[in-house]
Structures are given as C-alpha cells and as structure tokens.
Amino acid sequence: MFARTIKRVNTILYCRNWENTVSFYRDVLSFSIHYETEWFVEFHLVGNTYLSIANAAYASIQSSDGDGITLSWQIEDVELTQFRLNGLGIKTSKIKNVWGARAFYFFDPEGHRLELWS
C-alpha cells in the first residue's frame, strides 16, 4: 500500500570527501545536476529517480564511509561501460555472472560500492 504512494526516489549519500564525490558523479559518470547548493548536489538519474551527494560537514547525518552501501543500476552494455570506465582510470572488478545477470563493481571516492549490471 505504501509503495503505491511513492512518486519520486532520491538516495542521499552523506560524504566527508564531498567535492571529489560530486566531481566523480558529475564529471566521470556524467550525471546531470538537477539541484545544487553549496553543500548538496542532486543528480537526475532516470525518470523520477535521483541521487544526492550531501556534505557531511554541514549535515545532521554523518558519512558511513561507504560501509554497507551498494548502488545497483541496470545498464544496457556492461562490457562497453566497463571498458569506458577503465579508460578513465576507474578500477573495476572483473565482469561476473550473478543473479542471472552480468555485473561488475567499482567504488566512488567516498567508498560507496557501485554495481552495474545487464
């Protein structure tokens, strides 16, 4: 019942390494900024789904240093995306067959694990 009332999804990551993390999502992953202040940046991912990076120095919630968090996104082409990330100097895992999909992993500057799969 509650899930049917959700109209928008926004995941907020609280970061100590805020500037580098914002740069990573904006410049490396090429996410477009939807909203920003001096300590908070919201990226539009797709549809009504957003990812925000908050500077933990100005927030009431502190960074988890990436512990216990995986951002998992389905993409069109795992091999091409991994190739492009590696070309940008991003270290990724090998592509693995998991959960009936092909996936690989890498980390943002704050230590959050990202899983890309198709």
Segments making up each domain of the chain, as ranges: 3-117
pLDDT of amino acid 1? 63
Position 4 pLDDT exceeds 90: no
- Model confidence over 57-81: pLDDT tens digits? 999 999 998 999 999 999 999 999 9
Look over the chain and give the mean of its residue pLDDT values, rounded to a whole number.
95
CATH class of the region 3-117: alpha beta
What pTM does this model have?
A: 0.92
The neighbouring-strand residues paired with 96 are 103
